[in-house]
Amino acid sequence: MVLIGSLLVQVYIPGASSLKEKRQVLKGMIAKIQNRFNVSIAELENEDLWQRATIGVAMVGDTRDHVERQLQLVLNFMDAEPRWEIIQVDVDWN
């Protein structure tokens, strides 16, 4: 059986005073997360807002436990980023 777990993470970036600064923060973190956890990740919404971003993360696996653990590790890594604050997290399973 193949499972797809996904996170929809809304973040607030208080230090961003332009879209350029916001993109700098996002691009760096997205690259780090992709390299470290081998997940699909992208900015999904709020592209035109300076201090807000919605990030989607998806992972495919054969057991729910494995996918759940990996997504929790991704979320912990994201939460440790000092340049933003996580506002909301939604988890979905397919």
The predicted-structure confidence for 10-44, as pLDDT tens digits, reads as follows 999 999 999 999 999 999 999 999 999 999 999 99
DSSP string spanning 56-76?
Answer: EEEEEES-HHHHHHHHHHHHH
Residue 90 has phi, psi (to 5 degrees) of -120, 135
Residue 13 near residue 84, CB atoms below 8 Å: yes
The structure's pTM equals: 0.91
- Going from the N-terminus, what domains does the chain have, and what CATH number goes with each? 3-93 (3.30.70.1120)
Q: Give pLDDT tens digits for 48-87.
A: 888 999 999 999 999 999 999 999 999 999 999 999 999 9
